[in-house]
A and B are shown apart, each in its own frame.
Chain A
């Protein structure tokens, strides 16, 4: 059932890839900043 509709929900996920990518980048930046603050 879910695989039969894969085309549809994959398209839906495609809309949110920029959000996911941005959040990943934001998370990495945050972790890097914290590490720099601890070291510096």
Chain B
């Protein structure tokens, strides 16, 4: 992909590491094996399954209706700015507010923010805020009350969210000109229309919790956080405990595969294996009669789907391996039981791959806020600021990336170990089932570090 907002991992090069990069991969695998042994010895009982949430002093203020209304209004305002600037501003992606805000601040920036502060997107979610406001207003107008929404079908589970995240990845990584401001604005309008129809059918809260792609996406990351709001009260819980209470169902594993697979594809896009093969594939589709652009897009779509299937296949392998040790669980039961352990891995992939992108390109929002249309205006006096590429060095970036990858996979291992202890009656069987999950974690770690190394090839 040749657009500004794709393949962002290669924004930096590095040259002065004390050992070869691949040796970091070996060291990371060793850390995971040692962590596994330490967990088996020092973590003999499940610790994350119980409910240890407690309210914070002042938690009622943060979770109050006033704060919710203000945050919702800000979210609606930002959605409006994205649509307006996308349609009315310059069509240069780098000079328009909409692409940078959507692809950098929203899509990537909200991930660490959700981990640090909890499910903040729920408060700022413009679709939820609008849906609730319309529902409230309609309830006042229609005296007899609104008809009850349909029951959200259990078989749908997280499939709509998986489809939504996949569609976003296609727009970002496959579609030629997916970072064009008007394309971003139209995509936001289409997504809004679909969301409002779904909310009207299944109810605002049910759709936000299960079907709405961005709500589900950011909620998954927020479950790593120590902060959680319950019944309008902000409280704290042990880190990762929110994931142990995730209601995994149909489509949850697919959603995680899309989340990790799309980053994998974005990273692999810079690897010689892909840069060597993709022109041949595009030529092949061209020979079949496709025009250059559809041939190019079809090639990238196949690459994206292959990356997602690779991730799904690795996880499936781990699940089938865990089933083979016994315990009487079906593959579906095990898949749903352990899928929450993939969330920290998804976080590791996002943070490691997009770290420099977020730190560098994210700064552009300062001057784009002053000149959102790219017409030379200076609303806040920051239009002349520039991106500081010295904010992080290349070697420091690599160390941070390795740290994210190792920490994310160690967290995934911890979650899987805790769940295994709760699931299996026999502690020995629980540990043995986790050999396979450890294999999955080592595979994802090696893949992540290899992808990062490819960005510098």
Contact = CB atoms under 8 A, between A and B. Distances in A.
Contacts of B321: 26
Interface in A1-40: 5, 8, 11-12, 14-19, 22-23, 26, 29-30
A12 to B, nearest CB: 6
Interface in B442-457: 442-443, 446-447, 449-450, 453, 457
Contacts of A22: 29, 33, 438-439, 442
Interface residues of B, number: 23
A11 B449 CA distance: 12
Contact of A8 (B435, B438, B457): B457
A15 B20 CA distance: 10
A19 B442 contact: yes
A19 B447 CA distance: 10
A26 B435 contact: yes
B450 A15 contact: yes
6 contacts: A18-B30, A19-B443, A22-B33, A22-B439, A26-B321, A26-B436
A16 B451 CA distance: 12
Interface string B26-38: 1001100100000
Contact of A15 (B22, B30, B273): B22
Contact of B442 (A11, A12, A18): A18
Contact of B446 (A8, A11, A15, A30): A15
Nearest to A18: B29
B324 interface: yes
A17 B324 contact: no
A33 to B, nearest CB: 8
Given A26-B439, A30-B324, A18 B450 contact: no
Contacts of A29: 435
A32 B436 CA distance: 16
A19 B25 CA distance: 10
Given A8-B457, A19-B446, A14 B435 contact: no
Contacts of B438: 22
A30 B272 CA distance: 36
B17 to A, nearest CB: 13
Interface in B5-27: 20, 22, 25-26
Contacts of B439: 19, 22-23, 26
Contacts of A17: 26
A16 B450 contact: yes
Given A16-B446, A18-B442, A8 B272 contact: yes
Interface of A: 5, 8, 11-12, 14-19, 22-23, 26, 29-30
Contacts of B25: 14-15, 18
A4 to B, nearest CB: 12
Contacts of A11: 20, 22, 453
Of A16, A23, A29, the most chain B CB neighbours within 10 A belong to: A16
Interface in B312-337: 321, 324
A14 B449 CA distance: 11
B449 A15 contact: yes
Contact of A14 (B22, B30, B457): B22
Contacts of A12: 273, 450
Given A22-B438, A22-B442, A15 B324 contact: no
A23 B442 CA distance: 10
**7 nearest A-B pairs in the assembled complex, by CB-CB distance:** A18-B29, A14-B22, A15-B450, A15-B25, A19-B443, A15-B22, A15-B446
Contacts of B446: 15-16, 18-19
A12 B272 CA distance: 10
B24 to A, nearest CB: 9
A12 B453 CA distance: 9
B26 A5 contact: no
A23 B26 CA distance: 14
A19 B436 CA distance: 11
A6 B117 CA distance: 47
Contacts of B457: 8
A29 B436 CA distance: 11
A22 B33 CA distance: 10
B34 to A, nearest CB: 13
Nearest to B317: A23
Nearest to B27: A18
A21 to B, nearest CB: 8
